[in-house]
């Protein structure tokens, strides 16, 4: 049985986010995929609003699982696959539950109030291929690709910033951090104690 002595160092497991900028030759494809993601998000928005505001016995607050089941078999989209559609449905349900509203704001793909591009992915849909990463049949080259060596990711997204550049964000699994015994004994200072 391990000792319970507080002077021993402890290992913390933390999930970190890795951000890598995508090279500009993929921006056209990512913009088109972002429009498709917006269409899926808006369809989930409309479908869940209609289900939540029905006046008969079939009124229901759709979960992410329900939305994924209703989107099963969708083959209209040419760039994004089923795993991306499922990620969008689950993300939509989580955001709607957090807002506690039956309907969220539409994600528009054009105009002055357009939503920034966002293409989620699951860990299984990414593959390393030489110097690039393959997603949905397209190779993406990134800056600082040496940071990808030895990384096991859990999932993430391609996200667009306000300038129009695309960044690949991914969650890294299990980064181990050693805490020294002195750091374990230090008291935390709250914002009220500082002032």
**pLDDT for position 34:** 92
In angstroms, the CA 88 to CA 106 distance is: 14
Question: pLDDT band at residue 4, thresholds of 50, 70 and 90?
Answer: low
- Whether this prediction's pTM lies above 0.95 is answered by no
Rg (CA), the chain: 21
Is the pLDDT score of 30 beyond 90?
Answer: yes
Which residues are registered as beta bridge partners of 170?
A: 18, 156
Give the model confidence (pLDDT) of 135-146 as tens digits. 888 888 888 877
From the CB of residue 55, how many other CB atoms can be counted at a distance below 10 Å? 6
Q: What angle do CA 128, 137, 107 make, to 5 degrees?
A: 105
**pLDDT for position 71:** 84
In angstroms, the CA 122 to CA 80 distance is: 12
Q: Domain limits of the chain?
A: 10-194
**pLDDT for position 186:** 45
Is the pLDDT score of 173 beyond 70?
Answer: no
What single DSSP character describes residue 96?
A: H
Average pLDDT, the chain: 79
């Amino acid at each position: 049985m391990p000792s319970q002595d507080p002077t021993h160092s402890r290992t913390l497991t933390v999930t970190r986010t890795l951000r890598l900028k995508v090279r500009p030759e993929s921006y056209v494809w990512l913009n088109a995929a972002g429009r498709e993601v917006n269409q899926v998000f808006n369809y989930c928005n409309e479908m869940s609003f209609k289900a939540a505001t029905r006046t008969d016995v079939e009124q229901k607050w759709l979960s992410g699982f329900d939305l994924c089941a209703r989107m099963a078999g969708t083959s209209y989209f040419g760039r994004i696959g089923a795993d991306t559609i499922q990620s969008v449905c689950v993300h939509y349900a989580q955001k709607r539950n957090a807002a506690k509203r039956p309907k969220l704001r539409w994600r528009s793909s054009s105009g002055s109030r357009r939503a920034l591009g966002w293409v989620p992915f699951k860990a299984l849909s990414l593959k390393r291929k030489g110097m690039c990463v393959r997603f949905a049949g397209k190779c993406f080259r990134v800056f600082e690709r040496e940071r990808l060596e030895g990384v096991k990711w859990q999932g993430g997204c391609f996200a667009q910033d306000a300038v129009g550049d695309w960044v690949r964000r991914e969650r890294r699994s299990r980064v181990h951090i050693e805490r020294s015994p002195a750091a374990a004994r230090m008291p935390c200072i709250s914002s009220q104690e500082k002032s």
